Amino acid sequence: MSADSSCLELTALDRASVVLTYSNGRWTEISRDGETVVKALCVHSEDDLFVVKKTTNCNTGISCIKTRKHSPDVISVTSVPMAAADMELCKKLQASEKTLFSFDMLIKDDHVVKCPYEGLLFSEKCSKPLLSVGCDMSTRMNLTDICSVRLPNSQTDIAITETFVCRSSFRVKNETFLIASSRRRFLCLVRIN
């Protein structure tokens, strides 16, 4: 398993700075303060692609939005600005590897699942496991942040670990993504099968 950059924007819905709602072809982004930040009207839609006219303050523009449901609890949203409301252009932009777009991944609040793998991961640099998954509880894993540290006035070294709860997992091609959270952060691990 390894950390993956495609999960860096992972956000729990209860911790999101903006809440996105969609109803009857209208998108609205509402800030934590309850103010409407962005209004968008769906101009064209096809499967998981949407061409929308967005208004932010006094600025209006066209965006291509793609949503993807990875599991019942995980949704990703990619967005790229466009010069015209053109569904064919939207398809080309979303398919191109050269397109620079924003990427957000959302996960349903408080969802906990059994971790998809169990066991220990060791490194030759650390005598303690770097990662233990499902060892004490099937929904938890422990990550060793610091392998060895000596506290003041102590004769022994200790490891500093953080406990995570498995929130969801899904496959994309030959990779399995595991999303987990602790009290202070989210973590996305990738296993290449």
Phi, psi of 87 (to 5 degrees): -65, -35
With cut-offs at 50, 70 and 90, classify the pLDDT of residue 163. Answer: very high
Tokens of 189: 């691990």
Long-range contacts of 47-56 (CB under 8 A, 24+ apart): 49/87, 49/90, 49/91, 49/94, 51/82, 51/85, 51/86, 51/87, 51/90, 52/27, 53/85, 54/27
Could you read off the pLDDT of 31-82 as tens digits, one per residue?
767 777 778 888 888 988 889 888 888 888 898 988 888 888 788 888 888 8
Judge if pTM exceeds 0.75: no
Mean pLDDT of the chain: 79
- CA–CA dist 193, 28 (Å, integer): 39
Contact 71, 169 (CB under 8 A): yes
Could you read off the pLDDT of 72-122 as tens digits, one per residue?
878 888 888 888 899 999 898 888 877 777 777 777 777 888 988 888 988
Q: Looking at residues 136-147, what average pLDDT do you find?
A: 88
What is the model's pLDDT at position 154?
81
What is the model's pLDDT at position 17?
54
Length of the chain: 193
Report domain extents, the chain: 7-107, 119-192
Phi, psi of 7 (to 5 degrees): -105, 10
More confident position, 123 or 37: 123
